[in-house]
Amino acid sequence: MKLLTKTNVYTTITTVLLFAMGIFVVYEVILQKLDKEVDKQLLSAKTQIVNGLNDGISPNEFLSNLGQKVYIKKVDKQTVFDNKFIDYIENQSSVYTSDDDVLQRELLFQTVVDGKAYEVTVCSSLSEGKKTGEYIIVVVLIFLLVSVIILFLLNRLISAFIWSPFYDTLSKIKTWNIKKNEILDFKTTDIDEFHLLNDTVKDLTRQIQSDYHNLKEFTENVSHEAQTPLSIISTKIELLMQESNYSEKQHKLLVQTYNATQRLYKLNEGLILLTRIENKQFVETTAIDLVQAIEEKIEVLEDFVEAKQIVVEKIFNAQVTKEINPVLLTILLNNLFINAIKYNLEVNGTIKITLNEDSISVENTSFSDKIDKQFLFDRFNKNSISGSLGLGLSLIKKIVDFYNWHITYSHKDGTHKFKIYM
C-alpha cells in the first residue's frame, strides 16, 4: 500500500469517527436544550393558568391564547405534589395526518382557587423540536460528507506535492546503474528529512561508485599486467620443452607447469575479453548476414562436429541482417556452438540451430543434466568438464546484455536449448 493511501485512509477514518461523535453530542445537547425550552413554556403556561384561575377568568378565555392543550379538572382534595413532567407518545393517527406517533410532554400540577382544588394538565408537542434537531443532523451530515471528501482530496494533493521529492529520489535510485558512470541528481526540496535523505543517498552512491570503479580498475590492471609475464613464462616453457634430455620426472613437471600456465593464460585472456566488452571496446558495427555468419562458424567447427558425429540441423526461417560488431558476433556464435558440441552426446548427438526474424536458438542433446538457472551465466560456474574455463556462458550473456537482447535457457528430454531474442 502506498504511503499516501495509508495516511489518507487513517485520516479519513479518524475524521469520520470524530464527526460522528460530534454529531451525537450535538444532537443530545440540542434535544436537552429543546426539552428545557418546552419545560419553560409549560411552566409559563402554568403561571398564566394559575393567575387566570385566581383572577376568576373563565378557563375557556385564556386557553385559546395559550396555544397549548390544557385540561383542567376539579379534584375533591388536594394532594400535595410538585410539578410533574410526563413524556408520552400520543397516537394521533387519523385520516388527515400521516404522522401517527407524536411525542408529547405534559405538565401535571394542582392548584387551589377559592378553596377549590384543580388538577391541571398542560400539553406541549415535542415533535417540532425533534424535527428541528433532525434537520440539523442532516445538514451536519451533509457538511461532514462534503468535508471528508474535500479533506481527502486535499490531503492527497498536498501529500502528493509534499512527497514528490521523495518519489523522485526513489525512482532515481531505482533506475540507478552502478555500471553507468552517472551522478544522481535529485529534485531540490525544502523539507529537511528529504534533503538529508538525498544527501545521504548521493554520498552513498558516490562512495559505492568510486569503490566499484577502483575495484574494476584493479581487476582490469591485474589482468592486463599479468598478460605480458604470462606470455613470457609460456614462451620460456615452450623453449625449455625444446630440450630433450629430461628425466621422466622433470618432463612430467614441465608438462604440468606448461598446462597450468596455458590454462591461466587462456583464463586471463577470457577475463580481459569480458572487461573489454564491458568497457564498450567493440562498438563499431557492420551489417552482417546472420545466415552466412552461422554457416561460416559451423564450417570452422566442422572438425569437432565430425569428430563426434553430431548431426547438425539448420533451420533458417528468415534472412536476417544485423548491425553488430563482427568480433562480438564471432565470440557469441562460437561459444554457443562450442558449448553445443562440447556438452553433446558421444553418439547420436544432434544440434538444431533455428534462426527467426527476431531470435536465434541452439538446441543440443547432452549428457549433462539441467543446469541450475540461477548460476547459469555466472563466471566460473561450470559443469565438471576438464579444460573448460567456465567463461563461455558468461561471455554469451555479456554480449547479449551489451546489445540489450534477451537470452533464455530451457531443458527438455535431455535437450538443452538456448534462445536469444534480438
Partner 1 sequence: MRILIIEDEKSLREDVVDYLTENGYKCDFATTIKSAIQKLNDIVYSCALVDVGLPDGSGIEIVEHIKKHNPEMGVIIVTAKNSLEDKLQGLKIGADDYLTKPFHLSELSARVYSVLRRRNFGGKNSLIFDGLEIDTTEKKVIANNIQLQLTKKEYEILVYLASNPKHLITKEALADAIWGDKADMATSFDFVYSQIKNLKKKLNEADLKDYIKVVYGMGYKFKS
Q: CB of 314: closest distance to partner 1 in angstroms?
A: 18
User: Tell me, what amino acid is at 331?
Assistant: I
Which of 191, 255, 260, 318 contacts partner 1 by CB under 8 A?
Answer: 255
3-54 vs 59-66: helix crossing angle, rounded to 10: 160
Taking the least distance from each CB to partner 1, the nearer of 177 and 228 is: 228
Nearest approach, Cβ of 167 to partner 1 (angstroms)? Answer: 44
Size of interface with partner 1, in residues (CB under 8 A): 37
Distance, first Cα to last Cα, the chain? 37
Which ranges in 55-103 belong to alpha helices (H)? 59-66
Q: Segment contacting partner 1 (CB under 8 A): 6-14, 190-198, 203-211, 384-392? A: 384-392
Neighbours of 281 (CB within 10 A): 12
Would you say 122 or 277 has its CB closer to partner 1? 277
CB of 216 to partner 1, least distance (A): 18
Least distance to partner 1, CB of residue 422, Å? 22
Minimum distance from CB of 312 to partner 1 (Å)?
A: 15
Closer residue to partner 1 in complex, CB, 239/287: 239
Q: Which residues contact 365 (CB under 8 A, 6 or more apart)?
A: 344, 345, 348, 349, 350, 351, 414, 415
CB of 408 to partner 1, least distance (A): 23
Q: What is the rounded CA–CA span in Å between residue 233 and residue 258? A: 9
Q: How far is the CB of 206 from partner 1 (least distance, A)?
A: 31
C-alpha grid cell for residue 136?
440539523
Residue with Cβ nearer partner 1 (115 or 229): 229
Euclidean distance between CA atoms 159 and 152, whole angstroms: 10
CB of 264 to partner 1, least distance (A): 12
List C-alpha distances in Å: 319 to 149, 277, 356.
Answer: 61, 27, 8
- Window 262-321: residues binding partner 1 (CB under 8 A): 262-263, 266, 269, 276, 281, 300-301, 303-304, 307
How near is the Cβ of 348 to partner 1 at its closest, in Å?
Answer: 18
Region binding partner 1 by CB under 8 A among candidate stretches 35-43, 63-71, 126-134, 224-232: 224-232
Decide: is 130 part of the binding site for partner 1 (CB under 8 A): no
Question: Cα separations (Å) of 348 from 248, 313, 331, 361, 412?
Answer: 40, 13, 27, 20, 17
Q: Does 386 bind partner 1 (CB under 8 A)?
A: yes
Q: Rounded to 5 degrees, what are φ and ψ at 89?
A: -105, 125
Query: Would you tell me the crossing angle of helices 326-342 and 392-402 to the nearest 10 degrees?
Result: 140
Judged by CB under 8 A, which of 46, 156, 342, 382 binds partner 1? 342
Nearer CB in complex with partner 1: 301/355: 301
- CB-based contact 15:151 (threshold 8 Å): yes
CB of 329 to partner 1, least distance (A): 13
Q: Can you tell me the distance from the alpha carbon of 341 to that of 191, in angstroms, rounded to the nearest whole number?
A: 62
Residue from 242, 247, 384, 404 in contact with partner 1 (CB under 8 A): 242
The answer to the question of residue 235 lying near partner 1 (CB under 8 A) is yes
Pairwise CA distance, residues 237 & 251, whole Å: 11
Return the DSSP state at 338. Answer: H
Altogether, the residues listed in the chain come to a count of 422
Nearest CA-CA partner of 234 in 211, 203, 268, 200? 268
Nearer to partner 1, 200 or 286 (CB): 286
- Rounded Cα gap, residues 275 and 231, in angstroms: 19
Stretch that binds partner 1, among 6-14, 26-34, 82-90, 337-345 (CB under 8 A): 337-345
Closest alpha carbon to 348 in 368, 361, 366, 371: 366
How far is it, in rounded angstroms, from Cα 74 to Cα 62?
Answer: 18
For partner 1, the binding residue among 75, 150, 215, 232 (CB under 8 A) is 232
Specify the residue, 212 or 304, whose C-beta has the smaller distance to partner 1. Answer: 304
Under the rule (CB under 8 A), what is the footprint of partner 1?
Answer: 227, 231-232, 234-236, 238-239, 241-242, 251-252, 254-255, 258-259, 262-263, 266, 269, 276, 281, 300-301, 303-304, 307, 330, 334, 338, 341-342, 385-388, 392
